[in-house]
Structure 1
Amino acid sequence: MAEKHDKFVNQYSRRTLFRVGAVSGAVLAAGSVLLPGSAAASPGPTVLLNADKVAGSALRPFGRHIAFGADPSQQVAVSWQVPAAVTAPFVRIGTVPGDFSPPIPAEVRALTSQMSWQHPVEEVPPNSPKSITQYYLHARIDRLLPNTTYYYVVGHEGYDPATRLGEMASFRTAPAPGGDGTFSFTAFGDQGVGYNAVATSSLIAGLDPAFHLAMGDLSYALEGEGGHPEEDKYDARLWDSFFVQNEPVTAGIPWMMALGNHEMEGWYSADGYGGVRARFTMPDNAWDGSTCIYSWRYQNVGLISLDGNDVCYNSPSNLDYTKGRQLKWLGRTLAAFRADPTIDFIVVYCHQCTYSTCHSNGAELGAQKDWAPLFDKYQVDLVLNGHNHIYERTDPIRAGKAVKKVPSRGTTDPVKDGTTYIT
């Protein structure tokens, strides 16, 4: 009202709000603007971002991403983030939208990154904290029904979105092992963050695959070779952007990841994979403590994720870090897959390329020397890689040589012809 204009301008001017914020660090709230410890002039909710603890009702999950377990007909891991610490995080699932199970507890993995390590891609204020902590939550769900669509929501104490269908996502478990029904999957490496990355995720959404293989160098939060914390440039919060941009897809389509050289974030652990272990839940069944080295199957296809950093001379920070353990496991796993009459195809995926003509990173000698003979011996059908930012498909290769020329949309028999490699 005109007669109260001066009063409200003086009481709620932008200059007043900015002065309060600059002096105290308090922020705008829905009902009032308060200094820490001051009394409210009128009732209303208040959120102080500089408070030690934030009410769970003020925090929203984001960045949902799901993955299959070793048996995708029964096992799924649901993962997400929250912007601050929460109590009693959970997932609720059901086969009917809105009819959810009681809360299934989730594990909290808090990842703290010192700002002194980092070169932020966006400006930060002069009073930025000395460290940031990202809170990743993970819930493993087992004993699901095969070939069934499940709906789910994620929450925590103070925030249960069970009645908010707009926050519901869904996934579908695989048919029982051994089936040979038609399905499709997608694969790429080196996605990064940005509008091209969003466009690629949109392509996946349109194809609606049963699952996606993400073959390393996922977010490019690390710039550099990887594994050299004294030289590599890093911004941990780019992972937040990565998960947010992909959530429309990753919330419903399982993403099965392999490690790239840009996942060797040497600030967190000796092998550089501490950040990966906080952010993702893969089957990791090669041995106790393996990271993103695992096998699983989808219907009649056996799949294997390998760590190419273990055989990489191009980025050698983790060269031979498993001391031959991965190689022995690979031989045993391929032998078991080939001995299983219900597995018709074997697909191996990792970051570095066994064969490639790319001038930048090229072909990986370690993979040719250690892995290719096993791919030949056990008649691996397909090997998928990222690393080189191109598309290439080989003719089928055996013993390092092309066996026959296969035209586009042609057919090859790995038993007779050899293995096809795709970058």
Structure 2
Amino acid sequence: MTRTPRGQAPDVGVPAELADRMTVAEQHDWLSSFLRRHPVSRRSALRGCAGVLAATGLAAAPWTLAACATAAQAPVAVVGRHLAYGADPQRQMAFAGELTAPPPGPVVVDLGRDGSFGTTLPVDVRRLVSRVPQDGDAIRGSEQFFVHALADGLAPGERYRYRFRLPDGTTTPEADFVTAPGRGATAPWSFTAFADQGVDTVPPSGQEGYTNDYESDDTRRTMTPSTSMVDRIARQRPAFHLLAGDICYADPSGEGLPERRGGSGFESFDPTVWTTYFGLIERSAASTPWMFATGNHDMEALYDDNRAGGASHGYGGHAARLDLPRTGPSGCPSVYTFRHGTVGVISLDANDLSTEIPTNAGYSGGAQTAWLRRTLTALRADAGVDWIVAFFHHCAFATSKAHASDAGVRAAVAPLFDEFSVDLVLQGHNHQYERTNPIRRGRSVVQAPDGATVRPETDGTTYVCVGSGGRPRYSWLDGVTDRYRGNPGPDSGVTVASYLALGEDAKQPDEVDWSQARYLDYAYVTVDVVPAPAGGGETTLTVRATTDTGTEIDRVVLSRRT
């Protein structure tokens, strides 16, 4: 019996015949042994080139030495800026970016509210070294430097300006952000969400066999769906953006990508894809907090003992690149909660719960689900919280030919969501848009067609799959069709064929009665929040699905009385 289903192990250089039998920790042990036998010194590679080193044995690589040498002569710069909330979004904001080379001195963040910058924040520089074994004795290496700062003591509901300032006095362009509103605020606001984004461009190296292989009949999209999503969200300027896992696909080998097309590059983990990705989202993320959950493509065994992270389940690289609120259980870096206005948001790590892809299953030892119960209890006891929104990667409720519903995730979270009347759940993994009727005990409670109003207290939880963030789409099971506003084709209805994923090639057929809206292309969700008046009354969440071409295709209103 293999430890990880074939084709689903994170692939960072371990031979495929071994990786299929290894956990993430076992892959890391193999890599550590390999790298001890084939060390790469800093003298063996050039600095620069956005932190990438062309290392030993990389003949004919796109990371050319000439390009790196040219880049090394350029001034140090901060690229790929992105914001995230701290534990308290009213008073904290985390700033991050990547340096194009090691800084010759301290980097700082200038922060202010009016016409001048009145505060200087210290910046932590986190060095991330990636040494990826290649065929034979070769190693492909990169050295990246990420900058992080945290602002605390901010005023709720206020706009601030900031910039990174380098040792030579040069600065990044100024950007601004708004903190979460204080308690009692009644002004409407919005947030956005999707999952499974990736990058539209071919990665710069190491993944030559990995392409954006869109189907020939995929004609309803823009040329670059992932980029189009960022453009729309940047123009919309939501309060924050949620990404429900499978962020940039630096690891292209987890289950959930287009059919393999050959080429040795497909198998290679490429840390510089993160550089491309942060550059892609910067025009939104420099001003809007992007809050990430982790998916199966975000498990990176290369970093199990990386000092920048200290994780033991493939998340060490994320600790160098990302800032996430540290409000979850220790050892679960992508499990956290934050509150914005009257909405409590929960990020879960479905890798810990999945039966379909068990590489990281059970790593928390039950700590995550115990924390989830405590967190839901606290949110429902908080008179200032009207709404609970959860987001994670593997779906508890979805249909598709690729992944459908994960039995482990459903068993872990659905009973708790029923018990605590969770309002909205945002998922990824299946590359499609799909919205359910409100669900309780696994079945539809009421029908909620496009434009309907749902009352979660009595009707149940609405689950939305937004794995439609840019990666090439999947397909429905035979006989299942699209179902959305403006659909010109056949309509297979709400009751359709699906299955529960129990493990590798283990599927339990399931005819479901809850698949209300389906769109097999690229879309993101906007959630418009209208708080109740100061004296109490009706509050709503309006969930709207918009395609990458700007067309609204689905809408449902969730309503509560306060």
> Do the structures match in fold with TM over 0.5?
yes
Within the alignment, does 1:209 sit opposite 2:238 as a pair? Answer: yes
Aligned partner of residue 405 in structure 2, secondary structure: coil
CA distances 1:92-132 after superposition (whole Å, capped 9, x unpaired): 110124x11343111111111114269xxxxxxxxx98521
- Equivalent residue in structure 1 for 2:293, among 253, 258, 261: 258
- Equivalent residue in structure 1 for 2:168, among 158, 165, 168: 158
Partner of 1:314: 356
Name the CA shift for 1:336/1:160 in 2 (closer, same or farther; >3 Å): same
Separation (CA, whole Å) in 2 of partners of 1:142 and 1:130: 39
Within the alignment, does 1:136 sit opposite 2:171 as a pair? Answer: no
Partner of 1:383: 425
Offset at 1:85?
1.1
What amino acid maps onto 2:357 in structure 1?
S
Partner of 1:121: none
Offset at 1:393?
0.3
Name the CA shift for 1:158/1:317 in 2 (closer, same or farther; >3 Å): same
Name the CA shift for 1:276/1:260 in 2 (closer, same or farther; >3 Å): same
Q: Does the CA contact (< 8 Å) of 2:329 and 2:368 recur in 1?
A: no
Give 1:5-404 correspondences, 5 Å limit: 58-86=75-103, 87-97=105-115, 99-116=116-133, 130-161=140-171, 167-194=173-200, 195-225=224-254, 233-269=268-304, 270-404=312-446
Name the CA shift for 1:54/1:391 in 2 (closer, same or farther; >3 Å): closer
Structure 2: which 5+ runs fail to align? 1-45, 49-66, 201-223, 256-265, 305-311, 466-562
Offset at 1:314?
1.6
Which structure has the highest strand share of the two? 2
Aligned partner of residue 337 in structure 2, secondary structure: strand
Separation (CA, whole Å) in 1 of partners of 2:187 and 2:143: 44
CA distances 1:236-266 after superposition (whole Å, capped 9, x unpaired): 1111000011111110011011011111011
Q: Does the CA contact (< 8 Å) of 2:331 and 2:364 recur in 1?
A: no
Name the CA shift for 1:26/1:233 in 2 (closer, same or farther; >3 Å): closer
Q: Does the CA contact (< 8 Å) of 2:438 and 2:445 recur in 1?
A: yes
What amino acid maps onto 2:374 in structure 1?
R
Offset at 1:178?
4.5
Q: Does the CA contact (< 8 Å) of 2:198 and 2:246 recur in 1?
A: yes
CA distances 1:121-175 after superposition (whole Å, capped 9, x unpaired): xxxxxxx9852111111101111011111110002212342xx7xx111111111
Offset at 1:50?
5.2
Q: Does the CA contact (< 8 Å) of 2:251 and 2:297 recur in 1?
A: yes
What amino acid maps onto 1:236 in structure 2?
P
What amino acid maps onto 1:143 in structure 2?
G
Separation (CA, whole Å) in 2 of partners of 1:327 and 1:102: 40
CA distances 1:300-332 after superposition (whole Å, capped 9, x unpaired): 010100000011112111001101000000000
Aligned partner of residue 245 in structure 1, secondary structure: helix
Percent identity over paired residues: 38
Aligned partner of residue 58 in structure 1, secondary structure: coil
TM-score by length of 2: 0.61
Structure 1 stretch displaced more, 252-261 or 87-96:
87-96
Q: Does the CA contact (< 8 Å) of 1:178 and 1:343 recur in 2?
A: no
Name the CA shift for 1:258/1:178 in 2 (closer, same or farther; >3 Å): farther
Corresponding pairs, count: 360
Offset at 1:49?
6.0
Q: Does the CA contact (< 8 Å) of 2:132 and 2:302 recur in 1?
A: no
Q: Does the CA contact (< 8 Å) of 1:225 and 1:232 recur in 2?
A: no
Structure with the bigger RCO (C-alpha within 8 Å, sep 6+) is: 2
What amino acid maps onto 2:168 in structure 1?
G
Separation (CA, whole Å) in 1 of partners of 2:379 and 2:388: 8
Separation (CA, whole Å) in 2 of partners of 1:197 and 1:137: 25
Offset at 1:213?
0.2
Offset at 1:72?
1.1
Structure 1: which 5+ runs fail to align? 1-24, 28-47, 119-127
Aligned partner of residue 234 in structure 1, secondary structure: coil
CA distances 1:27-46 after superposition (whole Å, capped 9, x unpaired): 9xxxxxxxxxxxxxxxxxxx
What amino acid maps onto 1:135 in structure 2?
F
Separation (CA, whole Å) in 1 of partners of 2:403 and 2:232: 26
Which structure has the highest helix share of the two? 1
TM-score by length of 1: 0.81
Aligned partner of residue 393 in structure 1, secondary structure: strand
Separation (CA, whole Å) in 2 of partners of 1:413 and 1:367: 24
Name the CA shift for 1:180/1:352 in 2 (closer, same or farther; >3 Å): farther
CA distances 1:280-304 after superposition (whole Å, capped 9, x unpaired): 0010211334311001100001010
Q: Does the CA contact (< 8 Å) of 1:111 and 1:275 recur in 2?
A: yes
Q: Does the CA contact (< 8 Å) of 1:284 and 1:290 recur in 2?
A: no
Structure 1 stretch displaced more, 302-311 or 128-137:
128-137
Separation (CA, whole Å) in 1 of partners of 2:134 and 2:158: 45
What amino acid maps onto 1:189 in structure 2?
A
Q: Does the CA contact (< 8 Å) of 1:177 and 1:298 recur in 2?
A: no
